[in-house]
A and B are shown apart, each in its own frame.
Chain A
Amino acid sequence: MSSSEQDLKQLWDEVVDLANRQYGSAPFKRLLSLKFSRERAQQYSIQMAYYVGNRRDCWAFVQGSSPLDVKQLIWEHERDELIGNESEGKQDHITLAVKEGEVLGLTAKAFDQTGCIEGGVVCFSAWIRLAQRPWLEAIAASAILEVRNSAELIEGGSLSRRIGGIFERDLGIPLRKQMNNAEHVVMDVEHAHLLMKVARKYATTEANRQAIINGAKESLLIDRVYRNHLAEMLEALP
Chain B
Amino acid sequence: MTIVDELLDTLDKMANDQFESQEFHSFFSVPLNINRARFYVIQNALYTNNRRDCWAYVQGSAPLEVKRVIWEHESDELINDPRAGMDHYSLTVKQGEVIGLNPEDFERAEIPPMVRSCFYAWHHIALRGHWLTAYTASHMLERRNNGKIVKGGGMSFRVGKKFENELGINLKRMISLDVHVVADTEHSENISEMFQRYVKTPEDHQLVLQGARDSMAIDRAYRGALGYYMERIA
Instruction: Select one of A53, A63, A128 contacting B59, CB under 8 A.
Output: A63
A35 on interface, CB distance cutoff 8 Å:
no
Contacts A75-B79, A82-B71 known; A64 to B56 CB distance under 8 Å? yes
CB distance B78 to A71 under 8 Å?
yes
Q: Which residues on A sit within 8 Å (CB–CB) of B71?
A: 75, 78-79, 82-83
8 A Cβ contacts from B68-90 to A: 68, 71-72, 74-75, 78-79, 87, 89
Q: Which residues on B sit within 8 Å (CB–CB) of A76?
A: 79
Q: How far is the CA of A78 from the CA of B78 in the complex (A)?
A: 13
Give, as a whole number of angstroms, the nearest-CB distance from A192 to chain B: 21
**Interface segment, one of A21-29, A54-62, A166-174, A225-233:** A54-62
CB distance B89 to A64 under 8 Å?
no
CB distance A72 to B79 under 8 Å?
yes
Q: How far is the CA of A78 from the CA of B54 in the complex (A)?
A: 17
CB distance A68 to B89 under 8 Å?
yes
CB distance B67 to A71 under 8 Å?
no
8 A Cβ contacts from B41-63 to A: 49, 52-57, 59-61
Contacts A71-B78, A82-B71 known; A131 to B53 CB distance under 8 Å? no
Most chain B beta-carbon contacts within 10 A, residue among A57, A64, A79: A64
A65 on interface, CB distance cutoff 8 Å:
yes
Most chain A beta-carbon contacts within 10 A, residue among B52, B55, B127: B52
Q: How far is the CA of A65 from the CA of B72 in the complex (A)?
A: 19
B212 on interface, CB distance cutoff 8 Å:
no
Q: How far is the CA of A204 from the CA of B78 in the complex (A)?
A: 25
CB distance B56 to A132 under 8 Å?
no
CB distance B56 to A94 under 8 Å?
no
Contacts A72-B78, A83-B68 known; A60 to B57 CB distance under 8 Å? yes
Contacts A68-B89, A75-B78 known; A58 to B68 CB distance under 8 Å? no
Give, as a whole number of angstroms, the nearest-CB distance from B116 to chain A: 16
Q: How far is the CA of A237 from the CA of B75 in the complex (A)?
A: 44
Q: How far is the CA of A33 from the CA of B74 in the complex (A)?
A: 43
Complex interface bits, A28-70 against B, C-beta within 8 A gives 1, otherwise 0: 0000000000000000000000000100111011011100100
CB distance B57 to A64 under 8 Å?
yes
8 A Cβ contacts from A80-120 to B: 82-83, 94
Q: How far is the CA of A67 from the CA of B178 in the complex (A)?
A: 26
Q: Which residues on A sit within 8 Å (CB–CB) of B55?
A: 64
CB distance A63 to B49 under 8 Å?
no
Q: Which residues on B sit within 8 Å (CB–CB) of A63?
A: 56, 59-60
- In the complex formed, the residue of B with least CB distance to A132 is B127
Q: Which residues on A sit within 8 Å (CB–CB) of B126?
A: 64
- In the complex formed, the residue of A with least CB distance to B74 is A75
Q: How far is the CA of A49 from the CA of B67 in the complex (A)?
A: 16
CB distance A71 to B64 under 8 Å?
no
CB distance B60 to A64 under 8 Å?
yes
Since A58-B60, A60-B60, A128-B60 are in contact, a sample of 13 more A-B pairs with Cβ atoms closer than 8 Å, ordered by chain A residue number, is A53-B64, A56-B67, A57-B60, A61-B57, A64-B53, A64-B54, A64-B56, A68-B49, A71-B56, A75-B71, A75-B78, A75-B79, A83-B72
Return 11 A-B CB contacts under 8 Å, by A number.
A60-B57, A60-B60, A61-B56, A61-B57, A64-B52, A64-B127, A72-B87, A74-B56, A75-B75, A75-B78, A82-B71
